[in-house]
Structure 1
Amino acid sequence: MSEWTTIARPYAQAAFDYAVENKSVAHWQEMLVFAAEVASNDTIEALLTGSLAAEKLAEIFNGVCGEQLDQEGQNLVMILAENRRLQALPDISLLFNQLKAEFEKEIDVDITSAVKLNKKQQTSLSKSLETRLARKVKLNCSVDPDLIAGVLIKAGDTVIDGSLRSKLNRLSDALQA
């Protein structure tokens, strides 16, 4: 996350609360992802750091976004422009996505294994993790032959290291102690 995260947090929370209240979470997510991409564009980013008046900056930004933003999305852009915080849009989008995942009880889980996992193994891991984490699990699988064998699982702040490399390192440390 960037330096804008602290500034972005209340805007993301307000947008999320509004989206939940109006049953438009998916729509808000789409708008924020698009606006974040626009804000990350090199040309637009140069405008955001410039000295344009807030109204003009919001007008240009909303013009670029076009029909991708509804009236509420355009209002958010205007508020961010008035407070010189349009650069926080990528972080607002990221935090909004995290709030959505928490609301929907979903979690992204990164699984690194020594060999490619087949569908049966992925399904088994997914069911076990859903039980342990009490959430819907979305697996992101990758392969790292340096693990030798086993898996490394990262789910938010939780890390489960069942790799042979890790076990060998612990054994080595114990023998040296």
Structure 2
Amino acid sequence: MAENTTIARPYVQAIFDLAQSTDSLDSWSDILQGLALIAADAEAVSFLGNPRVSNEQKLELFSGILGDDLPEAGLNLVRLLLLNQRIALLPDMAHLYEVERNRAAGSIDAQLITARPATEQQKTSICNALKVKLGREIHLECKTDETLIGGAIIQAGDLVIDGSAQGKLNRLASALIH
């Protein structure tokens, strides 16, 4: 994953620069999300990885599914990725594009994972604390995971704060073993 991210980053930067210069940030977001969904599909992965299938046939897969939602610039991107044998990077590219888009807008996506649904007061408190720590607007997505037992895990970019009971038990077990 880390290697894919490193390889995908220059492609994403070029797309982002193009999208900014043509005022098409939202359009490129939609294009990349659509391409990524196709590239991540199990049947499509098998088809795209088949050396007997020509690049033109692979390109037709994307254009056939997305139709008019895939403009010429999107087709050119797919051609380039197929030519360089990098089509599997599309899911990483879509994710990195959204990260770059949020960074440029001065915001960041964060995830709050709790054992039980968080209250509005807890969500607001966490958003405010993250905003102070990171200096950006926070888009908080909340999930529940009963295996955490209690507490919460907060993820925002590279920042991970594990305050879950399960995480504390794991750290305690690790400390006792070593």
Query: Following the alignment from structure 1 to structure 2, what is the Cα–Cα distance between the partners of residues 140 and 121?
Result: 13
1:41 equivalent in structure 2: 41
Cα shift readout 1:55-74 (whole Å, capped 9, x = no counterpart): 34323432232112111111
Moved more, 136-145 or 70-79: 136-145
The alpha-carbon deviation at position 90 of structure 1 amounts to: 1.5
Q: 1:84 to 1:133 in 2, by over 3 A?
A: same
What's the RMSD between the two structures over aligned residues?
A: 3.3
Moved more, 144-153 or 113-122: 144-153
Q: Among all aligned residue pairs of Structure 1 and Structure 2, give the percentage whose two residues are the same amino acid.
A: 39
Q: 1:121 to 1:62 in 2, by over 3 A?
A: same
1:4 equivalent in structure 2: 4
**TM-score, structure 2 normalization:** 0.77
2:67 equivalent in structure 1: 66
Cα shift readout 1:69-125 (whole Å, capped 9, x = no counterpart): 111111111111222222221121122122112212222223344553321232232
Q: 1:77 to 1:163 in 2, by over 3 A?
A: closer
2:31 equivalent in structure 1: 31
Contact 1:62–1:77, Cα closer than 8 Å, also in 2: no
1:131 equivalent in structure 2: 132
Query: Following the alignment from structure 1 to structure 2, what is the Cα–Cα distance between the partners of residues 167 and 58?
Result: 48
The structure that has the greater radius of gyration is 1
Q: 1:68 to 1:139 in 2, by over 3 A?
A: same
The alpha-carbon deviation at position 31 of structure 1 amounts to: 0.6
Give ranges in structure 2 of 5+ residues lacking alignment. Answer: none
1:82 equivalent in structure 2: 83
How many residues are paired up? 176
Query: Following the alignment from structure 2 to structure 1, what is the Cα–Cα distance between the partners of residues 56 and 166?
Result: 57
Q: 1:127 to 1:100 in 2, by over 3 A?
A: same
Q: Which amino acid aligns with 1:21?
A: S
* SS state at 1:4 partner: helix
1:92 equivalent in structure 2: 93
Query: Following the alignment from structure 2 to structure 1, what is the Cα–Cα distance between the partners of residues 145 and 46?
Result: 39
* SS state at 2:53 partner: coil
* SS state at 1:52 partner: coil
Query: Following the alignment from structure 2 to structure 1, what is the Cα–Cα distance between the partners of residues 55 and 165?
Result: 57
The alpha-carbon deviation at position 44 of structure 1 amounts to: 2.5
